[in-house]
Chains A and B, each alone.
Chain A
């Protein structure tokens, strides 16, 4: 079965640079979620989108923004990167509020900020 696709899988950036992470949800899924997982930490919810509209907001820094496009893929834009932004970034997708809400996770993007 098709799964959530994330790109790139690995990314190395310098401090103060910008990064864009992409997420392609499971076909027919209309809701995407972004999570950040630091070393030894549990995943922290950042933001979610349903039908291209922001749905829920978690601990997303102001330096980060995200959007969902008409084909339901989503992009997380990260600016003024800091050392503490080094983490695994997961995208998850689901059928959304009117369907099965179970979130399925992609393989993640490992971001290293030097």
Chain B
């Protein structure tokens, strides 16, 4: 049974600060790792994807992957109120495999 664990929060962060979101996964065969943002009642929106160990930066977002520790994280710099949402960590074995999602972390950016 593939499992993805996230702290459900809510995680409250002041505007302009760094938000740190964490995720662990159980399947060592997982190949691809994704962070999606989801607003209530809307579809998941891709924020970042990462395939290799290390850091990957895209604008205010940095994803970190450590396959040995089975750990994925997302850092959001200069947090904005519009970043307030649920952040879903998702993993897959690759190919056309379905995503296994964590239950999401509810992030609140306080103005």
Contact = CB atoms under 8 A, between A and B. Distances in A.
Query: What 9 A-B pairs are tightest by C-beta distance, nearest first?
Result: A45-B98, A55-B96, A97-B95, A42-B101, A50-B96, A105-B43, A56-B97, A31-B96, A42-B103
B43 A102 contact: no
Interface residues of B, number: 23
**Interface size bracket, A side:** 20 to 34
A104 interface: yes
Contacts of B100: 45
Interface stretch (B10-18, B44-52, B61-69, B73-81): B44-52
A106 B43 CA distance: 7
A33 B46 contact: no
Main SS at interface, chain A: strand
Interface of A: 31, 33, 35, 41-50, 55-56, 58, 88, 90, 92, 94, 96-97, 101-108
Nearest to A91: B43
10 contacts: A35-B99, A42-B103, A43-B44, A43-B101, A46-B98, A55-B96, A56-B96, A58-B98, A103-B34, A105-B43
A90 B34 contact: no
A107 B104 contact: no
Main SS at interface, chain B: loop
Contacts of B45: 105
B94 interface: yes
B95 A90 contact: no
From B34, B95, B98, B102, name the one whose CB has the most chain A CB atoms within 10 angstroms: B98
B109 interface: no
Interface in B27-70: 32, 34, 36, 41-46, 49
A101 B32 contact: yes
A48 B49 contact: no
